[in-house]
Amino acid sequence: MAVTVRDIQEKLRLSVVYGDDNLLSKEITTADISRPGLEMTGYFDYYTPERIQLVGMKEWSYLVKMSSHNRHQVLRKMFQPETPVIIVARNLDIPEEMLRAAEEKQLAILKSNVATSRLSGELSSYLDSRLAERTSVHGVLMDIYGMGVLIQGDSGIGKSETALELVKRGHRLVADDRVDIYARDEMTLWGEPAEILRHLLEIRGVGIIDVMSLYGASAVKDSSQVQIDVYLENYAKDQTYDRLGNNAEELEIGGVTIPRIRIPVKTGRNISVVIEAAAMNVRAKQMGYDATKTFEERLSQLISQNEVK
């Protein structure tokens, strides 16, 4: 997904010190941020000009102590054609030589009043999410009691109808039909809808409904962590289903694994309530309470008592 200088300027509410529409349309290709400390001293052996160059108090303090000529020369060398933008933090004054070098090399300068470390974190978080490789999966993503639940299954199994029932029960729709998922880090998956399908839900026999318009802003969410995969499948008499909750099936997306729960669907079964229970049960396990272990412990105690008798 392409990210431009304009995108980060608007998202992080940065002020434009120098730059026209053309410069603000420049694409950012990496989520890495550079604090050009060594470069200020003239050491450019491992300089990475394709990164956003973030100038904080340390870099600025060194810059202002340099002579005007040296300052201009260093900045001209830093400002390369592949450099997307220079961002100055802490609302620091922009040296005249920086403006001159930006004009000469046609590079935008943005400014923020936020502390450098916090600004660097916000930039990295935003760019990591926007530039991460995405995997599109078929299903519905719901926020249920704060847990991101991905509902999958064969076409026509009732995923969207189940999502509608969950919305009516007070939970939030994130995405229907197509869920774009990416790894935010080595342990976390995040999902969001395709822009064309945002807040929309397709119900067979009814058509497309706008969940936000019908049920309000509290019924939708723009993105969510993906923590559980619930797979709906048609009930089959000859199929063995997990009854104790000790199956170890997982779903892997982008190198990150999440637990997968298979739920058989048949007439008369309230699937939305079952999914709610599954989400709460996974949360309970994460908090250290495992009902399956409790049952096994009680069973062991009962067997021991019967053996004594």
Active-site choice (35, 72, 134, 159): 159
Secondary structure class of 88 (helix, strand, coil): strand
Beta strands in 154-272, from DSSP E residues, in sequence order: 172-175, 178-185, 188-193, 200-203, 207-210, 224-226, 228-234, 250-253, 256-265
Active-site choice (138, 168, 169, 266): 138
Secondary structure class of 94 (helix, strand, coil): coil
- In the block, which residue shows the tokens 């299903």? 139
Active-site choice (11, 177, 178, 260): 177
Contact in structure between 145 and 184 (CB atoms under 8 Å): no
Instruction: Please tell me whether 157 is known to bind a ligand.
Output: yes
CA–CA gap between residue 249 and residue 238 (Å, rounded): 20
State yes or no: is 229 an active-site residue: no
Instruction: Please tell me whether 156 is known to bind a ligand.
Output: yes
State yes or no: is 20 an active-site residue: no
- In the block, which residue shows the tokens 């054609």? 81
CB crowding 122-135: b at 16 or more within 10 Å, else e: ebeebbbbbbbebe
Instruction: Please tell me whether 191 is known to bind a ligand.
Output: no
State yes or no: is 138 an active-site residue: yes
What ranges in the chain are assigned the alpha helix state H?
5-11, 21-24, 37-40, 57-65, 68-78, 96-105, 116-131, 159-168, 211-215, 271-286, 291-308
State yes or no: is 168 an active-site residue: no
Instruction: Please tell me whether 159 is known to bind a ligand.
Output: yes
CA–CA gap between residue 125 and residue 129 (Å, rounded): 6
Active site residues: 138, 159, 177, 243
Would you list which residues are annotated within the binding site for ATP? 153-160
Residues annotated within the binding site for Mg(2+) are 160, 202
